[in-house]
């Protein structure tokens, strides 16, 4: 795991060494072990290395081919690199290191860009083909590793993180109003732009290239999720046994490392299953949990602390277990640094991720995460059932769009934004942005409940999980920690997409027979299980029954209660400040009204309040230029 960056002046202007050095320095937290630069007049590449495989200088980057014609900078892990190395050796290639970087480099020499489709792993890389004077940027099929880019005049700039791009003197920091509108609708971005005007996220499973001769940026995608080719003849037994086999294979594949490997551990099935397999391979495995101080918490959030369940799993598998306890005041200390590292605002409360990653980084350099299990195996049934009775495509999209307006509804946006900003974005249709996600797969159908659920899986894995990957990468790499996701293994994903919906969601036939005119349908739907049926049965040989049957609990702090109590003073101090930076874009009266309604218990606005806090710190840090290390976070 590393940080990469580069500058390509298409007009032939030489790149000053100081420019690429400044970009790489801004990525030092991603790669504290080594630094390297390559400059060839108008092209410059920078690399910061976090040494995971082959810790020797042989893994130094940028890495060049033996004839010096191909230069590679690479961030990620290729889990099948040893198999590919055998293929390449059979073709006559020789290796001077044990790195997957060299396998990728020689793979390009042997197969060209076709090498990408052979890779099983997470990666983002840039490759300079000197003979053709062409720069290629590539991102893994799932989009686990980030890569951002911008083009200013005749200068093309890219990096693993936006903050590195911002160091270039030609780049100015401006807010992207369309992205802000999208963020305050979905608490996510469904297009590949960012809050930074002109700076984009490279699409997952895509290649972008630009040549000195042509100067135009080109793109092609080489893979996409597809839940439409389900094998309806597959039995439950086959689905369960093959899921277990491929899951074991995926976890063991992702244990390759020359440094210590640990695992996050909640009280749930996904991380517990990873620990179950990993503990058979790593004696005295280190595991890490984040819990919460619930002394002032009431209601449903009183069950948000999973430390007891995590300890139970740890004891069962004899792991060396560490815990981080977060309290209501911790958000104020962490938030400036969280936003500095996250930059690309996504999803809900993520400061617990920041704390547990920091904890893990004190003991290991690689940590396994359970992300992806819910999206592959239908772990959010209360979402799917909202569109279960949809009639046709338009009805489905409208119903699902209503649910995914997580923060501010379309009718409230004139009150949210300042008059100037609303005048700019009012014609930017976020429903069209939402609907566009479904157009990437022309095979989607909308004629049955099963198809609606399959479409929902497709949407959520391309959007919600993609947001989780941004959060996971940025907040783990903030501490020089590599986060791996065993559920996102090529073979496991390919098989999981083929499993019939009826095996993933229990009692699907009974739900099909519901009278859609009856009241309280959603409550009835929830009584039919929590999804991931086939995964739960597959893991029955790995985990204790009480873990398998435990009600699903998301990884979230009890912020609803804290924002009404212990954290309320902080909330008001930041958001009701008359000099707050967000006031240039958001209406402070709307913000104050949301705080009042939340405190009064009229609604639970914890997600929106979190996003207000995040955006305020984003404005301070990136628009006002206040670095976290110079802030009083309180």
Whether the pLDDT of residue 529 is over 90: the answer is no
Whether the pLDDT of residue 507 is over 70: the answer is no
Can you tell me the distance from the alpha carbon of 507 to that of 524, in angstroms, rounded to the nearest whole number?
A: 12
Can you tell me the distance from the alpha carbon of 430 to that of 436, in angstroms, rounded to the nearest whole number?
A: 10
Can you tell me the distance from the alpha carbon of 207 to that of 149, in angstroms, rounded to the nearest whole number?
A: 12
Q: What is the pLDDT of residue 303?
A: 67
Query: Mind giving me the DSSP string for 438-455?
Result: GGG-TT---SSHHHHHHH
Which residues are designated catalytic? Answer: 2
Whether the pLDDT of residue 247 is over 70: the answer is yes
Whether the pLDDT of residue 522 is over 50: the answer is no
* Residue 359 and residue 322 in contact, taking contact as beta carbons nearer than 8 Å: yes
The first and second tokens of residue 383, run together, are 């979402």
**67-81, 260-274, 546-560: lowest mean pLDDT where?**
546-560
Q: What is the pLDDT of residue 519?
A: 38
Whether the pLDDT of residue 520 is over 60: the answer is no
The first and second tokens of residue 314, run together, are 């740890």
Q: What is the pLDDT of residue 516?
A: 35
The model's pLDDT over 377-402, given as tens digits with 9 standing for 90+, comes to 998 888 887 787 788 899 999 989 98
The model's pLDDT over 530-543, given as tens digits with 9 standing for 90+, comes to 688 999 999 998 88
Whether the pLDDT of residue 632 is over 70: the answer is no
Distance of CA 181 to the CA centre of its chain: 20
The model's pLDDT over 163-213, given as tens digits with 9 standing for 90+, comes to 999 999 999 999 999 999 999 999 999 999 999 999 999 999 999 999 988
Mean pLDDT of the chain: 90
- List the alpha helices (DSSP H) in 380-429: 381-384, 392-404, 413-416, 419-425
pLDDT band at 513 (very low <50, low <70, confident <90, very high): very low
**297-306, 382-391, 506-515: lowest mean pLDDT where?**
506-515
Can you tell me the distance from the alpha carbon of 306 to that of 290, in angstroms, rounded to the nearest whole number?
A: 8
Instruction: State in Å, rounded, how far the first CA of the chain is from the last one.
Output: 33
pLDDT band at 297 (very low <50, low <70, confident <90, very high): low
The position carrying tokens 């006559």 is 92
The first and second tokens of residue 328, run together, are 């209501």
Can you tell me the distance from the alpha carbon of 531 to that of 380, in angstroms, rounded to the nearest whole number?
A: 7
Torsions phi, psi for 551 (to 5 deg)? -60, 140
Torsions phi, psi for 554 (to 5 deg)? -70, 160
* Residue 369 and residue 271 in contact, taking contact as beta carbons nearer than 8 Å: yes
The model's pLDDT over 51-63, given as tens digits with 9 standing for 90+, comes to 888 888 888 999 9
The model's pLDDT over 436-470, given as tens digits with 9 standing for 90+, comes to 999 888 889 888 888 999 999 999 999 999 999 99
Q: What is the pLDDT of residue 391?
A: 80
Q: What is the pLDDT of residue 386?
A: 79
pLDDT band at 525 (very low <50, low <70, confident <90, very high): very low
pTM for this entry:
0.93
Strand partners, 208: 137, 219
Can you tell me the distance from the alpha carbon of 610 to that of 399, in angstroms, rounded to the nearest whole number?
A: 25
Q: Is the peptide bond before 182 cis (omega within 30 degrees of 0)?
A: no
Q: What is the pLDDT of residue 443?
A: 86
Q: Sign (positive/negative) of CA torsion 298, 295, 594, 428?
A: negative
The position carrying tokens 């999973």 is 306
Sketch the domain layout of the chain as residue ranges. Answer: 2-174+193-221, 236-377+453-522+533-548, 559-630
The CATH label, of 3.40.1550.20, 3.40.50.40, 3.40.50.620, 3.40.630.40, for the domain at 236-377+453-522+533-548 is 3.40.50.620
The model's pLDDT over 317-362, given as tens digits with 9 standing for 90+, comes to 999 999 989 888 888 889 999 999 999 999 888 888 999 999 999 9
- Higher pLDDT among residues 79 and 443, named by residue: 79
Q: What is the 3-state secondary structure (H, E, C) of 539-602?
A: HHHCCCHHHHCCCCCCCCCCHHHHCCCCCHHHHHHHHCCCCCHHHHCECHHHHHHHHHHHHCCC
Q: What is the pLDDT of residue 569?
A: 92
Whether the pLDDT of residue 311 is over 60: the answer is yes
Whether the pLDDT of residue 630 is over 60: the answer is no
Q: What is the pLDDT of residue 543?
A: 86
Percentage of the chain with pLDDT > 90?
Answer: 72
Whether the pLDDT of residue 634 is over 70: the answer is no
Can you tell me the distance from the alpha carbon of 492 to that of 509, in angstroms, rounded to the nearest whole number?
A: 26
Q: What is the pLDDT of residue 633?
A: 40
Q: What is the pLDDT of residue 125?
A: 97
pLDDT band at 527 (very low <50, low <70, confident <90, very high): very low
Torsions phi, psi for 586 (to 5 deg)? -115, 150
The model's pLDDT over 566-594, given as tens digits with 9 standing for 90+, comes to 889 999 999 999 999 999 999 999 999 99
Q: What is the pLDDT of residue 350?
A: 86
Q: Find the mean pLDDT for residues 69-90.
A: 96
Can you tell me the distance from the alpha carbon of 471 to that of 595, in angstroms, rounded to the nearest whole number?
A: 26
User: Which class is domain 2-174+193-221?
Assistant: alpha beta
Helices and strands per DSSP (H, E), number in the chain? 28, 17
Torsions phi, psi for 157 (to 5 deg)? -130, 140
Q: Sign (positive/negative) of CA torsion 360, 362, 364, 365?
A: positive
* Residue 418 and residue 456 in contact, taking contact as beta carbons nearer than 8 Å: no
208-214: Cβ within 8 A, 24+ apart: 208/136, 208/137, 208/149, 209/134, 209/135, 209/136, 209/137, 210/8, 210/10, 210/134, 210/135, 210/156, 211/132, 211/133, 211/134, 211/135, 212/8, 212/10, 212/12, 212/42, 212/133, 212/134, 213/133
The model's pLDDT over 91-108, given as tens digits with 9 standing for 90+, comes to 999 999 999 999 999 999
The position carrying tokens 């099983």 is 120
Percentage of the chain with pLDDT > 70?
Answer: 93
């Amino acid at each position: 795991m590393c940080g990469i960056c580069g500058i390509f002046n298409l007009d032939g202007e030489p790149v000053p060494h100081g420019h690429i050095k400044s970009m790489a320095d801004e990525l030092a937290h991603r790669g504290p072990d080594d630094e390297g630069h390559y400059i060839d007049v108008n092209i410059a590449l920078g690399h910061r290395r976090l040494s995971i495989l082959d810790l020797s200088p042989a893994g130094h980057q940028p890495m060049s081919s033996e004839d010096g014609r191909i230069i590679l900078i690479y961030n990620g892990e290729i889990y099948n690199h040893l198999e590919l190395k055998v293929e390449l050796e059979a073709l006559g290639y020789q290796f001077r290191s044990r790195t997957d970087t060299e396998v990728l480099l020689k793979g390009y020499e042997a197969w060209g860009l076709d090498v990408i489709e052979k890779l099983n792993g997470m990666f983002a890389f840039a490759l300079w083909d000197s003979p053709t004077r062409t720069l290629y940027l590539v991102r893994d099929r799932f989009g686990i590793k980030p890569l951002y880019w911008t083009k200013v005049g005749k200068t093309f700039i890219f990096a693993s993180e936006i903050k590195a791009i911002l160091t270039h003197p030609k780049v100015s920091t401006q807010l992207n109003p369309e992205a802000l509108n999208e963020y305050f609708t979905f608490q996510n971005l469904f297009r590949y732009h960012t809050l930074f005007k002109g700076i984009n996220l490279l699409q997952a499973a895509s290649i972008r290239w630009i040549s000195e001769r042509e100067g135009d940026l080109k793109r092609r995608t080489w893979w996409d999720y597809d839940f439409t080719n389900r094998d309806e003849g597959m039995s439950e037994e086959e689905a369960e046994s093959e899921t277990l086999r491929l899951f074991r294979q995926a976890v063991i594949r992702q244990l390759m490392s020359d440094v210590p490997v640990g695992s996050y551990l909640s009280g749930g099935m996904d991380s517990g299953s990873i620990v179950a397999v990993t503990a058979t391979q790593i004696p005295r495995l280190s595991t890490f949990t984040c819990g919460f101080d619930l002394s002032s918490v009431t209601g449903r959030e009183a069950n948000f602390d999973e430390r007891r369940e995590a300890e139970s799993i740890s004891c069962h598998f004899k792991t060396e277990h560490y815990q981080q306890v977060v309290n209501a005041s911790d958000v104020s200390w962490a938030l400036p640094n969280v936003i500095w590292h996250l930059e690309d605002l996504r999803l809900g409360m993520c400061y617990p991720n920041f704390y547990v990653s920091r904890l893990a980084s004190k003991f290991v350099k690689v940590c396994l995460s359970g992300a992806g299990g819910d999206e592959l195996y239908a772990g959010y049934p209360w979402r799917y059932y909202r569109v279960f009775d949809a009639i046709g495509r338009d009805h489905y999209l409208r119903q699902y769009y209503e649910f995914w307006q997580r923060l501010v509804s379309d009718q409230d946006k004139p009150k949210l934004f300042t008059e100037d900003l609303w005048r700019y974005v009012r014609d930017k249709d976020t429903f069209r942005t939402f609907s566009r996600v479904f157009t990437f797969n022309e095979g989607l159908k909308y004629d049955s409940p099963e198809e609606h659920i399959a479409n929902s899986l497709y949407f959520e894995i391309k959007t919600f999980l993609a947001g989780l990957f941004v959060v996971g990468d940025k907040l783990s790499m903030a501490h020089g920690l590599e986060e791996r996701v065993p559920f996102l293994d090529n073979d496991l994903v390919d098989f999981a997409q083929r499993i019939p919906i009826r095996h993933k969601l229990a009692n699907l036939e009974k739900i099909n027979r519901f009278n859609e005119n009856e009241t309280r349908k959603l409550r009835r739907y929830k009584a039919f299980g929590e999804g991931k049926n086939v995964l739960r049965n597959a893991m029955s040989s790995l985990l204790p029954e009480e873990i398998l049957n435990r009600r699903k609990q998301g990884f979230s702090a009890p912020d609803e209660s804290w924002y009404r109590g212990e954290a309320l003073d902080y909330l008001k101090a930041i958001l009701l400040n008359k000099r707050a930076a967000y006031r240039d874009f958001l209406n402070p009266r709307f913000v104050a009204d949301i705080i009042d309604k939340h405190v009064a218990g009229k609604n639970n606005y914890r997600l929106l309040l979190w996003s207000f806090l995040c955006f305020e710190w984003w404005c301070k840090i990136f628009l006002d230029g206040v670095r976290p290390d110079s802030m009083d976070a309180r």
